[in-house]
Chains A and B, each alone.
Chain A
């Protein structure tokens, strides 16, 4: 049986091509729709079944995050029997999907958590302004880490007067989040980089400054409003956004709750480290990439190269591995 690592995508994964990801009659979708309606929110199946992608609707955290959660979970359910899932990682808000997929939270609780956190992400920042995010590369076209780019990021953060933070470290890319003003300032100061026909720094639509300390108060409010969640030991190892392993045998549910509620929303989500830990400590044969989309594939590919995993030490090695009978990365949404 193949040892599989599952990497769930997070914020930003639901794009126009993701429409139609959900199976409306699936029990989880129906349950989610019921719960959403009770909460006065549009049903996910309706959002997913819309004729066209409306950024104002589909990118709103209270819609996008549950859509990403549910689409990922449905894909995870389809993982074939010849895969033994040995560990689960996630990027950003994909963590909530990971919790549910690994059984650390029951479905209803996880969905409620996603909704509460997404609502917190829609609030203004403490100073009343709107948050913003930008993305900037950390590696060159050959996928080699470029310390200079990393230095630019560090400098942007340290000179921001606490209004800009590294929200997400994907290894190949960094997401910087903070106040609109700070993000605007950083966008003007970061040296322009052209990579794969894209110009960086690149402003992201629907910024929310998640994974920054600017969200501390909003997250605290959200937690206070949450009912008790039924945290459990996961049934498969999950590696969190700080690179900690929570195993089925030894993890402490309270520690998972602590990370999820008080740490992960307001500190850098270090996906690069979590994937590195998963590769090194679980030695998967394959990395499965549930949807929506396959945006995490590029980041995973570069991290595999950086790790030298299975002898893959360059972009060319990775491409050759992907063409072989046993590719390292398998996107479930091609």
Chain B
């Protein structure tokens, strides 16, 4: 008995072919391979050829691994009947594929002249920078020309965005936004039986069904490639059929048996989705050969007899047998095909291994965070809507002329800025829980659905994963989504949709696919003792940790309007994913120092004025003899301004307050310049002390560069935010800022006095 199961499975096919007898009659190319079957001999041959290529790509990946020339061995072996799905769909049916999709990709590539799918796959396996999609950043299935956005997901986290794209097809058409896809395009996504249990899979499927219940088009084909196993854990018998076989608003189709039966079943599922514009769940039976990946020693958890039994169900063996017995191919033809394919793919692998790899940091990160400030600024100011049109839209009074206090708050300005952007960008969508009819729990989107219609401003179901999935899908086809997450705490249950999916798309597709979006999130603390932790969450670390993600945090209404324009322009121009974190406690705040002073009200800045990353806000002492630089953001700005007044009145200290505005990327150039000028720096960070706030990053940067004389920080306590007045026990307060400011400057003054 050998442990080299690759060799065993290869030999099994050879042995069968060597002893097989040809059928008495050969089929003509256009003859069906069985009575009543839709599969012709010609298509069956093409499928088997593609499947053999897929198999040999897996063999080659493992061969190259032996000499450390390949870096990815999760294979498609045993799943090759997904080639039928590839052949049944069109090249402009967007496909979000999991990692066992070799057969699918080979079959789809057959529809695209000039494609080189086998070599492209190997370039990915060896992590070559010549790989046309990820350029060495990952082994993915992906192609711009074949409408396969690359997925690195192993956990079905691509299902929500596949659903989102399916949802958006009709929406784009209705809004006159060119998606580049035909009117009857459908979306496909593939995943394994184990991944079907994942929350994101359930979310994607649930939301697709929910949409049908609402009467919305949802042309999506969920393809569950069931190999009975998740790494080492068997899927209970009948689990997939039992879970998905009888759900309302989801057509279930089982594809199993001979190749021609699979062909018909897949065709039925595709046809259902294409004609009804409703979802189908295709249950494609497969087997998993050679373990989960090359490194997975299957014999550690499966008996050899069990492994051999699975191998005996190798779909290539079964399909070869079917083609021979039906007369679609002869044993000799297949022997030659297998031999040629092995030689060909082996040669391709050697050539792929010679290709260059990414060398430098710059090469690796090049597509991660595209930044063209000039173009972004031009985009932000490109379309100016005339004032008459705006006035009509705003009900007679331009927002910049508004005098009512509620129009001059942070909330009022964001509402007006959203309206202005909806006016000038017909592709912009606004959606989330309670965003539509209610106009947002804090009235940020008040009146916008009425003004711009439910096609553009709409409510979603209560699932952040699906909200971000819809955003990604919409963005894939040219819409510009501005989804809302109702509270910062709620983004954490859906964070992977930003981290693993949205923010990584340009990186893993070398900028060929993008999902621009501005995710509005209401968050941070200080809601006058209201709400407790989940409505006052001050954890921004998870967002700051996402490579390439832009994090904008305004503190004032005028800033917010200008930053929102900058954020949307960055999404539109550079394809960036921006989180626009709005401090809830400041939404309706009017005053700065005392009740009724109106110090936090602003005049709405008329478009197209915009702010971009790096542009900070400065308040207080701007002269060079300022005693203290306070670096802060959001609620911290207002608190620091209050503290600055007390520092001046009570301690004769002059503070300059800097609003960072952008927390990712941090405007460190501006911080350094002002720190160098002022000397003493106090960072006021309302995020918790040892979390992912900005204090550590700012202080470390200044310290490492030896900028500034004394560096200090105040931060929130390491705690969840409690309910009621107890919040002040954990959050940064004015007294604390004053005391730290005095301490920071006082020592220097004392030292100076001593020297004197």
Interface residues of A, Cβ cutoff 8 Å to B? 3, 86, 240, 242-244, 247-250, 252-254, 270, 273, 276-277, 280-283, 308-311
Give the shortest distance, in Å, between B29 (CB) and chain A (any CB): 6
Given contacts A244-B113, A281-B119, contact A250 B351 (CB under 8 A): no
A3 touches which of B336, B347, B355 (Cβ 8 Å):
B347
- Check B49 against A282 for contact (C-beta < 8 Å): no
Which chain A residue shows the least CB distance to B53? A281
Contact A242-B49, Cβ < 8 Å, known A254-B29, A283-B350: no
CA distance A299 to B350 in the complex (A): 25
The answer to whether B354 touches A280, judged by C-beta atoms less than 8 angstroms apart, is no
Q: How far is the CA of A252 from the CA of B29 in the complex (A)?
A: 7
| CB pair A282 B344 closer than 8 Å | yes
Cα distance, A250 to B52, chains bound together (Å): 12
B29 A247 Cβ-Cβ under 8 A:
no
- Choose from A3, A242, A281 the contact partner of B113 (Cβ within 8 Å): A242
Contact B347 A310 (CB under 8 A): no
Instruction: Evaluate contact between A243 and B113: CB separation under 8 angstroms.
Output: yes
Identify A277's interface contact among B116, B351, B356, CB under 8 A: B116
In the complex with contacts A277-B114, A309-B351, A253-B344 CB distance below 8 A:
no
Chain B residues positioned under 8 Å from A249 (CB to CB): 45, 49, 329, 333, 336-337
Q: Determine whether the beta carbon of A252 is less than 8 Å from that of B348.
A: no
By a CB distance below 8 angstroms, the chain B residues around A244 are 113-114
Quick check: is B130 within 8 A (CB to CB) of the other chain?
yes
Q: Within 8 Å CB of B114, what residues of A? A: 242-244, 270, 273, 276-277
Residue B641, interface by CB 8 Å:
no
Residue of A nearest to B347 (CB): A283
What 7 pairs across the A-B complex have the smallest Cβ distances? A243-B114, A283-B347, A280-B116, A280-B119, A242-B113, A250-B46, A250-B49
- Can you spell out 21 A-B residue pairs with CB atoms less than 8 angstroms apart? A3-B343, A86-B344, A247-B49, A248-B337, A248-B340, A249-B49, A249-B329, A249-B333, A249-B336, A250-B45, A250-B49, A252-B29, A252-B42, A273-B114, A276-B114, A277-B115, A280-B119, A281-B344, A283-B348, A283-B350, A283-B351
Answer yes or no: B186 CB below 8 A from chain A CBs. Answer: no
Q: A242 to chain B: which residues have CB within 8 Å?
A: 113-114
The docked-state distance in angstroms from the alpha carbon of A243 to that of B113 is 5
Residue among B46, B130, B351 with the most chain A CB within 10 A? B351
B162 interface residue, CB < 8 Å from A?
Answer: no
With a cutoff of 8 Å between Cβ atoms, the chain B residues found around residue A310 in the complex are 351, 354
Is B118 an interface position by the 8 A CB rule? yes
Residues of B within 8 A of A (CB-CB), count: 28
A280 to B350 alpha-carbon distance, docked (Å)? 11
A residues within 8 A CB of B350? 283
* B49 and A253 contact, CB distance less than 8 A: no
Contact with A along B334-370 (1 / 0, CB 8 A): 0011001001100110110011100000000000000
Interface string of B91-130 (1 = CB under 8 A from A): 0000000000000000000000111101110000000001
Bound together, the chains give a CA A240 to CA B115 distance in angstroms of: 12
Q: Which residues of A contact B115 (CB under 8 A)?
A: 243, 277
Please, how many angstroms separate the alpha-carbon atoms of A247 and B46 in the complex?
A: 9
CB distance from A87 to the nearest CB of B (A): 9
CA distance A209 to B222 in the complex (A): 49
A-B contact count (CB 8 A): 63
**Inter-chain contacts of B348 with A (CB < 8 A):** 280-283
How far is it, in angstroms, between the C-alpha of A47 and the C-alpha of B116 when the chains are bound? Answer: 41
Cα A149 to Cα B351 with chains together (Å): 31
Cα–Cα, bound, A109→B347 (Å): 34
Q: Is the interface of A mostly helix, strand, loop or mixed?
A: mixed
The smallest C-beta distance from B680 to any residue of chain A, in angstroms, reads 54
Interchain nearest-CB distance for A247 vs B (Å): 7
User: A281's contact among B42, B49, B116, B336, by CB below 8 Å, is which?
Assistant: B116
Closest to B52 in A: A249
In angstroms, Cα B116 to Cα A91, docked, is 19
The A-contacting residues of B in range 30-79, CB under 8 angstroms, are 42, 45-46, 48-49
A168 to chain B minimum Cβ distance, whole angstroms, is 15
- Residues of B with C-beta under 8 A to A254: 29
CB-defined contacts of B336 to chain A, threshold 8 Å: 248-249
Residues of A within 8 Å of B355, CB to CB, are 308
Smallest CB-CB separation from A3: which chain B residue?
B347
The smallest C-beta distance from A286 to any residue of chain B, in angstroms, reads 12
Q: Which of B49, B113, B118, B329 has the most CB of A within 10 A?
A: B113
- B118 touches which one: A86, A250, A281, A311 (CB < 8 A)? A281
Q: How far is the CA of A247 from the CA of B341 in the complex (A)?
A: 11
Closest chain B residue to A236 by CB distance?
B340
**Assembled-state Cα–Cα distance A212/B53 (Å):** 35
Which residues of chain B come closer than 8 Å to A282, judged between CB atoms? 344, 347-348
Chain B, range 305-338, C-beta contacts under 8 Å to A: 329, 333, 336-337
Given contacts A270-B114, A276-B116, could you give 15 more A-B pairs where the C-beta distance is less than 8 Å? Answer: A3-B343, A86-B344, A240-B113, A242-B113, A247-B49, A249-B45, A249-B333, A250-B42, A277-B115, A280-B348, A281-B118, A281-B119, A282-B348, A283-B351, A308-B130
A277, chain B: closest CB distance, angstroms: 6
Residues 580 to 595 of chain B near chain A (Cβ within 8 Å) = none
Whether A308 and B337, one on each chain, are in contact in the complex, defined by CB atoms closer than 8 angstroms, is no
> Which residue of A is nearest B128, CB measured?
A308
Closest partner residue, chain B, to A273 (CB atom): B114
* Bound CA span A207–B49, Å: 41
B46→A311 contact, CB < 8 A: no
For chain B, residues 258 to 305, give those with C-beta under 8 angstroms from any C-beta of chain A.
Answer: none
Which residues from chain B contact A270 at a C-beta distance below 8 Å?
A: 114
**A-chain residues with CB within 8 Å of residue B120 when the two chains form the complex:** 280
Q: Contacts A242-B113, A249-B49, A252-B29; is A308 near B347 (CB within 8 Å)?
A: no
Asked if A283 contacts B344 (CB within 8 A), the reply is yes
- Measured between alpha carbons, how far is A310 from B348 in the docked complex, in Å? 11
Give Cα A81–Cα B694 distance, bound, in whole angstroms: 71
Residues of B within 8 A of A280 (CB): 116, 119-120, 348
Q: Give, as a whole number of angstroms, the nearest-CB distance from B566 to chain A.
A: 32
A311 to B354, Cβ gap below 8 A?
Answer: yes
The residue of chain A having its C-beta at the shortest distance from the C-beta of B350 within the complex is: A283
Q: Which residues of B contact A311 (CB under 8 A)?
A: 354
Complex Cα distance, B351 from A310, in Å, reads: 6
A308/B49 contact (C-beta < 8 A), A252-B42, A283-B344 known: no
For the complex, give the distance between the alpha carbons of A270 and B351 in Å.
24
Q: How distant is the Cα of A276 from the Cα of B116 in the complex, in angstroms?
A: 9
Q: With a CB–CB cut-off of 8 A, which chain A residues contact B329?
A: 249
One digit per residue, 1 when the CB lies within 8 angstroms of any chain A CB and 0 when it does not, for chain B 639-669 equals 0000000000000000000000000000000
B683 to chain A, nearest CB (A): 48
Given A281-B348, A283-B348, the answer on whether A253 and B116 have CB atoms closer than 8 Å is: no
Task: Report B184 CB to chain A, min CB distance, Å.
Answer: 24
Q: Which residues of A contact B340 (CB under 8 A)?
A: 248
Kindly provide the distance from the CB of B359 to the nearest chain A CB, expressed in whole angstroms: 14
Residues from chain B with a CB closer than 8 A to the CB of A309 are 351
Chain B proximity of A199: nearest CB distance (Å):
32
B333: chain A residues at CB < 8 Å are: 249
Asked, given contacts A242-B114, A273-B114, A283-B351, whether A308 binds B45 with beta carbons under 8 Å apart, the answer is no
Question: Nearest-CB distance from A276 to chain B (Å)?
Answer: 7
Contacts of A86 in B (CB 8 A): 344
Bound Cα distance from A248 to B330, whole angstroms: 13
Instruction: Identify the interface centre among A247, A254, A276: most chain B CB within 10 Å of its CB.
Output: A247
A309 to B351: give the CA distance in the assembly, Å.
8
In the assembled complex, the Cα of A311 lies from the Cα of B120 at a distance in Å of 16
Within the complex, what minimum Cβ distance (angstroms) separates A89 from chain B?
12
Scoring B114, B333, B350 by chain A CB atoms within 10 A of each residue's CB, the highest score goes to B114
Please report the C-alpha to C-alpha distance between residue A240 and residue B114 in the assembled complex, in whole angstroms.
9
Query: In the complex, A243 Cα to B348 Cα: how many Å?
Result: 18
In the assembled complex, how far is the CB of residue A178 from the closest CB belonging to chain B, in whole angstroms? 24
Cα(A309)–Cα(B116), bound, Å: 14
A308 touches B116 (CB 8 A): no
- Alpha-carbon gap, A270 to B354, bound state (A): 27
On chain B, the residues within 8 Å of A247 by CB distance are: 49
Inter-chain contacts of A243 with B (CB < 8 A): 113-115
